[in-house]
A and B are shown apart, each in its own frame.
Chain A
Amino acid sequence: SQTIHQWPATLVQPVGSPLSLECTVEGTSNPNLYWYRQAAGRGLQLLFYSIGIGQISSEVPQNLSASRPQDRQFILSSKKLLLSDSGFYLCAWSVFVRQGDYTFGSGTRLTVV
C-alpha cells in the first residue's frame, strides 16, 4: 500500500533562518506531488506541484522554493524565513493530475519567531 511521510512534525525557526521540509511517498511510482500551506484559520493554499522529476510549478510568488530530486521525494525550502511563513505545511500526492483524491502527509507545523 502507498504511504506518505512528512517531517519534521513541528518546527520553530527564527526569522531569517533557512528551511527544509521533506516529503517522501512509498508504494507508487511517478506520483503527482503537492505542497500546501494552511495559515491559522485559513484555507489550504497550493504552493507548488510536480508531475515528474525536475518539473515544478509554482502557484504563489514568495521566498519559498521546491525541488524534486527523486521520483518520490519532494522538498520545500527557503533561504530566509519570514514571520508570514508560519503555518501548517502539508505535502500530498495523487495518482492522476486531474483527479482530486489526494492523500496528505501528517503535516509540519512551522512557527517563525
Chain B
Amino acid sequence: QKEVEQNSGPLSVPEGAIASLNCTYSDRVSQSFFWYRQYSGKSPELIMSIYSNGDKEDGRFTAQLNKASQYVSLLIRDSQPSDSATYLCAVTGFQKLVFGTGTRLLVSP
C-alpha cells in the first residue's frame, strides 16, 4: 500500500465550478498535512496546510482533514483556468515529507 494515494486524474471541471481533490494516507501517526500545486515544468509550491480535523479555508481554497478516516481533501471554489496544474498531497512522516503522485486538474474556460 502506498503511503499517500491520490487519483492521478485528469480531473476536468468547467470554469467557475468547484474542484474536489482527494487524498488518503496510511500512517496513522501523521500529524501534518499539506497541499502543493505544481505547474507543468515547474517546482511545487505550498498552497495549504492543515493540522487538525475539520476545515481550513484560505481564499478560494478549503482543506479538509479527517484523521479517523485518514483522508485529506482540497476544494477549489470558482475554479479558474489558471488553477490548471497538478496538486500534490503531502503528509509528514519521520523526519521527512511524503508526497502522493498528484492529481492533474484541468479547468476549461
Query: A interface vs B, CB < 8 Å?
Result: 34, 36, 42-44, 46, 49, 51, 57, 59, 90, 94, 97-107, 109
15 examples of A-B residue contacts, CB within 8 angstroms: A44-B44, A44-B88, A49-B95, A49-B96, A98-B31, A98-B32, A99-B92, A100-B32, A100-B49, A100-B97, A102-B44, A104-B43, A105-B43, A106-B42, A107-B42
Contacts of B43 in A (CB 8 A): 90, 104-107
A98/B99 in contact, CB under 8 A: no
A43/B97 in contact, CB under 8 A: no
Question: Is B70 engaged at the interface, CB distance under 8 Å to the other chain?
Answer: no
Total inter-chain residue pairs, C-beta < 8 Å: 55
Question: Is B90 engaged at the interface, CB distance under 8 Å to the other chain?
Answer: yes
Residue of A nearest to B91 (CB): A100
Residue of A nearest to B86 (CB): A43
What 0/1 pattern do residues 69 to 109 of B give for CB contact below 8 A with A?
00000000000000000001011100111111110000000
